[in-house]
Structures are given as structure tokens and as C-alpha cells.
Structure 1
Amino acid sequence: MQTNLFGEPLQICSTSPMTGFYRDGTCRTSIEDGGSHSVCAVVTDEFLGYSKAMGNDLTTPIPQYGFTGLKDGDRWCLCAARWYEAYKAGYAPKIDPSATSSQATKIVDKEILLKYAI
């Protein structure tokens, strides 16, 4: 079982929209998840615009995959490296530390993540 940033059981990030590498609502990751979808972010319009400009459009629906597109305020499991990239550019969204996997700290310092805690 994966733990969150507090060393406790990982909490649900979102089931509406359904998120996570395994589409189970959690930001758990594994060797199969090359992107480490481990950061539970509360996305903002600014972040979504930045992500789209960087080639990762999270706003456009993709019905064949059941993806309705994200909007400001949605919670979503982001790749830790993508969150860190947004952080360095000044667009990092807030995170839910209870629903962010401790595995994210392999890519982003825990102290940085906690500065963005909701």
C-alpha cells in the first residue's frame, strides 16, 4: 500500500473526474507508470493554459477515453515531473498532500510540495 506525504494511507484524489494512472481515483504509481502520476493537484485555469502551451492539453474532451476535459478547481493526478516543470515556470497548482503519493518525492522535494498544500 502506498502512503501519502504524511506517511499515512493514500487518500482518494478524485472520482469525478476519475483520475489516476489506474483510473481508480488515487495517485498511486508503479513501475508501469512511467510518468509517475503521483501528485494530486487542484488545477487552475493558469496551470491548464500553461500545460496546453507545453503540449499537454488537459481541457479538451476525449470521449472515446471517457475524458471530459478538466476545468478550474478539478482535482487530477499529475505526473510529478510535469508538476515540477510548472513549479519552475511559476504555474504550479496547489496539491492535496493527503492524496499525493510519497513516491512523488523521488522527483520533487517534499518541502516544495508541502508549500503548495491546500
Structure 2
Amino acid sequence: MEKYPSLNVLGGPLEPCSVAPVTGFFRDGHCNSCAADAGSHTVCAVMTAEFLAYSKYVGNDLSTPMPQYGFEGLKPGDRWCLCASRFLQAQDEGCPPQVVLEATHQRALEIVPLATLKAVAVK
């Protein structure tokens, strides 16, 4: 699987999203992507209790530990490479997580407008 260029939505180098917990399609701490990443795990999101509850409600439980996969479960404040479409869905529902623009892959822009990401960017 060849990675797309590691560039963020601002056009600069893609910064790490999280190594604790380790995130990303490639589990390399970055929101890198490739053709095989059908979900576009490209948005570096900062988890909130509201977003985690919403995600669980819509069928993607990110907060419950799954030790069989080495997943401890996310908690508020954790950063995670989120699917761009899930971010947009949460935005439309009024409960988006904050976003780290420098760690959000440029591929996210295929689904989410830059202005939408900037509106919830970590300051």
C-alpha cells in the first residue's frame, strides 16, 4: 500500500496526530492515507464526551476498550484519525470534535470543506 503524500490541509508537512493512543490507518500516529483507505481516516480529531457518545450512538463505539485488538478505548482529550465522512456527519448533527489542521491529511478536503475544518480547529 503506497501512501499518498504526507501533506496537511494547509499544504504543509503532515504532523503527528497521536501515538498514545496510536492512531491512523497505518497505525503510525499520523492521519496518512492511501487508495486502500476507503474510510479516509484523515481528520485529526480531539475527542469530546459529546462526540464519543454520538459516535457510539451511530454505531462506531470508540470509547469501549477492545483488548483483543490492543485498543484501550478513547476518552475526552485523546486525538484520533477520524473518517472524514464521520466528521462531516457529526458536524451536520451539531456535535463535531475539534480538529488539528496541521495533523489532518489533505485527502480530507475531498469530503470536508476547509472552511468547515477551520471552524472547529484547535486554536
Answer whether TM exceeds 0.5 for this pair.
yes
The within-5 A match list for 1:66-105 is 66-105=70-109
> What secondary structure, in the 3-state scheme, does the structure 2 residue paired with 1:17 have?
coil
* CA distance in 2: counterparts of 1:101 and 1:67, whole angstroms: 23
Q: Cα offset for 1:65?
A: 1.1
CA RMSD of aligned residues (A): 0.6
Taking only the aligned residue pairs, the percentage that are identical comes to 53
* CA distance in 2: counterparts of 1:29 and 1:14, whole angstroms: 15
* CA distance in 2: counterparts of 1:44 and 1:90, whole angstroms: 13
Q: Does 1:8 align with 2:12?
A: yes
Per the alignment, residue 117 of structure 1 pairs with 121
TM-score, length basis structure 2: 0.94
The within-5 A match list for 1:34-53 is 34-53=38-57
* CA distance in 2: counterparts of 1:18 and 1:65, whole angstroms: 12
Q: Does 1:29 align with 2:46?
A: no
Q: Which runs of 5+ in 2 are unaligned?
A: none
Q: Cα offset for 1:2?
A: 2.0
* CA distance in 2: counterparts of 1:67 and 1:91, whole angstroms: 24
* CA distance in 2: counterparts of 1:84 and 1:54, whole angstroms: 13
> What secondary structure, in the 3-state scheme, does the structure 1 residue paired with 2:102 have?
coil
> What secondary structure, in the 3-state scheme, does the structure 2 residue paired with 1:40 have?
strand
Q: Deviations over 1:54-107 (max 9, x none)?
A: 010001111111100000000000000000000000010000000000110000
Query: Which amino acid counterpart does residue 94 of structure 1 have in structure 2?
Result: Q
* CA distance in 2: counterparts of 1:79 and 1:59, whole angstroms: 16
TM-score, length basis structure 1: 0.98
* CA distance in 1: counterparts of 2:34 and 2:94, whole angstroms: 28
